[in-house]
Amino acid sequence: MLKQIIKIRVKQFFRVAAEAGFFRAVFLLAMICFGLLAMFLKLEDKSYQEIIIVVVAISILSIHLKRKDREFINIYSTKPYFIFLTEYILLGLPLLGALIYYGFWTYVLYFSLLLALIPFLQINTRATNINSWFQRIIPDNNFEWKAGIRKNLFLFVGIWFLGLVMSFIIASVPVAIFVLGVFVLSFYEKPEPLQILLVNELGVTKFILKKIKNHLMIFAATTTPLVLAFLIFHPHYYFIPFIEMMMFSFLIAYSILLKYAFYRPENSSAVTGIFSMIGIISVFIPVFFPVVLVLSVKFLVQATNNLKFYLNDFN
Amino acid sequence: MIENLNLEMQNNCIHGIVGLNGTGKTTLLNSIYGLKIYTKGEMLFNNEKFSKKLISYLPAENYFYSNITAREYLSLFKNKQFDVEKWNALFLLPLDKVIDNYSTGMKKKLALLGIHKQDKPLLILDEPFNGLDIETSRIIRSILIKLKDKGKTVVVTSHIIETLTNMCDYIHYLENGRIKYSVGKGEFKDFESEIFHSIESKNQDLINELLK
């Protein structure tokens, strides 16, 4: 079974590459290599070591919890744990290799233990039915926010309140905006069904503009109280939350354009996931930000052409 | 693949499209709705090209956005006259629960509520009775007949002829991507027995051989 699963993964990899097209696939590969190289170099810096290990472990954990084939593998394989573990070791191999290269043996042990523990976690990710006041004040059209916040309500609201209450500490608001921003970027990963796309009966340009405008407004409404609290206590550093807000606003527009550039009703594109990751990485590694700028222009053109097929009747 | 298809449908009627699996029913509906590009010919509605502005389309499989409730889904469709609570009295859906936890039948009912809320002149319903219980099927039938009386045109597919014969004004039989024939209400009985006879006689020899 392990052999079969690895074969399927290799086929899936080539399918994603084919979907992306040759040049995009090469570009993505280059980006991944660059990201790995950056991670490798940052590992030398002591202050980054634990952060990198935690980020990689959380990424693998979220893959484990979100994967749709978990039940399939549990039912049809005699050794499901072994299959999960092998896959996660392969995913964690670049980090494991780097830790071994630097001789950080304690971290090698910690990270290996985390990888060994993840397949044991069988949390049921059944959708929650929370209906808070927060979802009710979100406009109907911002369904991505309604869904995203329902999924992470306590974390989202908790971080927001913590940022606000602790705003007398200089780092609290920037960190809160940062975490909330990363959360928000994940709201745009899934395409909506066609019925929802058509609901506004707008032509392509109007649709894209309205969508971006609505989402930037709701992001601004969420973060403005935090920024104001920051300005009360640290007026000299006013530019920090503003730059952050601008950066995340731009990334939200990028994520929306990306979603519609590859939009197919009810069909998540693996390519979208990789480009979305580049957007999130650009928050950590600023070198990627100009790349995201260029990609946004490209995705605007691509989204316009792609949506014409679905929205041409409303022009 | 659909080829040489020639079909005329009268307005303010319920039209059933029948055919075996893979004969092109969904392809035909997708072409009408503009989700499939046809290379030759044209499709007109009231002498104008079909437009999504005029059509509500219920696909055979219903997908919803994850982690939103049924009420949130329905609120996306703008129609102030539509009373969600009153309509839901027919289907008894838990509107404040997330759709992800709905059963197949509940999802179908919700999709149908969405279709009704859109209030368009042409309704295209692909296998609307799949996964529904007897009571809901009868309710849908009554709603569709009422909508026809209010001037709507309904196109509905099914691979179960009985669900169509007691509701449609016309039935169009699709075979190998072509309309083999269309029949009106008065001819449904003959049509039904002819179809059943042809299917049974086509396979009888093989069944006899397999089970001898």
Q: How far apart, in whole angstroms, are the C-alpha atoms of residue A224 and residue A277?
A: 26
Residue B14 bridge partners (DSSP)? B154
pLDDT digits (tens, 9 = 90+) for B168-202: 999 998 888 888 888 998 888 888 888 888 888 88
Largest CA distance in chain A: 62
- Residue A127 has what pLDDT? 60
| B77 at interface of A, judged by CB pairs closer than 8 A | yes
**Residues contacting residue A296 through CB under 8 Å, at least 6 positions apart:** A250, A253, A254, A257
Q: Which DSSP category does B60 fall into?
A: S
Query: Of the residues A66, A85, A120, which one is the last residue of a structural domain?
Result: A120
- Residue B73 has what pLDDT? 95
Type of residue at A165: V
In the numeric block, which tokens belong to residue A129? 């039915």
Shortest Cα–Cα distance, B37 to chain A (Å): 9
Residue A128 lies in a domain: no
Are residue A301 and residue A265 in the same domain, yes or no? yes
- DSSP-derived 3-state class of residue B132: coil
Are residue A271 and residue A165 in the same domain, yes or no? yes
Domain count, chain A: 2
Q: How far apart, in whole angstroms, are the C-alpha atoms of residue B116 and residue B127?
A: 16
Residue A108 lies in a domain: yes
- Residue B45 has what pLDDT? 83
- Residue A125 has what pLDDT? 56
| B131 at interface of A, judged by CB pairs closer than 8 A | no
- Residue B207 has what pLDDT? 87
Number of H helices and E strands in chain B, helices first, is 7, 8
- Residue B98 has what pLDDT? 92
Model pTM score: 0.80
Are residue A198 and residue A139 in the same domain, yes or no? yes
Q: What is the DSSP string of A144-182?
A: HHHHHHHHTHHHHHHHHHHHHHTTTSTTHHHHHHHHHHH
CB–CB of B72 and A192 under 8 A? Answer: no
- Percent of residues, chain B, with pLDDT higher than 70: 100
Are residue A232 and residue A157 in the same domain, yes or no? yes
Are residue A301 and residue A152 in the same domain, yes or no? yes
Report which of A52, A27, A55, A19 is spatially closest to residue A38, judged by C-alpha positions.
A52
Residue A285 lies in a domain: yes
| B103 at interface of A, judged by CB pairs closer than 8 A | no
Q: How far apart, in whole angstroms, are the C-alpha atoms of residue B192 and residue B181?
A: 12
Q: How far apart, in whole angstroms, are the C-alpha atoms of residue A50 and residue A42?
A: 11
Residue A73 lies in a domain: yes
Shortest Cα–Cα distance, A124 to chain B (Å): 13
Largest CA distance in chain B: 63
Contact list in B for residue A314 (CB cut-off 8 A) is 52-53
Residue A259 lies in a domain: yes
Contact list in A for residue B76 (CB cut-off 8 A) is 140-141, 143, 196, 199
Q: Which of A313, A314, A315 to mutate to test the interface with B (most CBs of B within 10 A)?
A: A313
Q: Which residues of chain B have pLDDT under 50?
A: none
Are residue A106 and residue A139 in the same domain, yes or no? no
**C-alpha distances in Å from residue A28, one per residue of A173, A286, B204:** 33, 17, 57
Residue A125 lies in a domain: no
Report which of B86, B111, B83 is spatially closest to residue B99, judged by C-alpha positions.
B111
ipTM surpasses cut 0.90: no
Contact pairs from chain A to chain B, CB under 8 Å: 67
- DSSP-derived 3-state class of residue B129: coil
Residue A126 lies in a domain: no
Q: Which residue of A has its CA nearest to B117?
A: A199
Q: How far apart, in whole angstroms, are the C-alpha atoms of residue B201 and residue B194?
A: 10
- Residue A225 has what pLDDT? 96
Q: Splitting chain A (315 residues) into consecutive groups of 10 residues, what average pLDDT does each group show? A: 79 78 76 84 84 85 82 82 90 92 92 91 66 82 92 86 92 91 89 93 95 96 96 94 93 95 82 82 79 93 95 88
Are residue A141 and residue A25 in the same domain, yes or no? no
Query: Of the residues A120, A141, A169, which one is the last residue of a structural domain?
Result: A120
Are residue A219 and residue A295 in the same domain, yes or no? yes
| Torsion angles phi and psi, residue A142, rounded to 5 | -90, 55
Q: Which residue of B has its CA nearest to A267?
A: B63
Contact list in B for residue A125 (CB cut-off 8 A) is none
Owning domain of residue A275: 133-314
Query: Of the residues A120, A152, A180, which one is the last residue of a structural domain?
Result: A120
Buried b / exposed e over A103-136, threshold 16 CB at 10 Å, is ebeebbebbeebbeebbeeeeeeebeeebeebbe
Residue A303 lies in a domain: yes
Helix axes A239-261, A270-284, angle to 10 degrees: 170
Contact list in A for residue B33 (CB cut-off 8 A) is none
Are residue A169 and residue A92 in the same domain, yes or no? no
CB–CB of B114 and A195 under 8 A? Answer: yes
Nearest to A140 among B59, B67, B75 (CB): B75
- DSSP-derived 3-state class of residue B14: strand
- Residue A294 has what pLDDT? 92
Cα of A90 vs its chain's centroid, Å:
21
Are residue A179 and residue A302 in the same domain, yes or no? yes
Are residue A105 and residue A239 in the same domain, yes or no? no
- Residue B132 has what pLDDT? 86
Are residue A215 and residue A86 in the same domain, yes or no? no
CB–CB of A147 and B67 under 8 A? Answer: yes
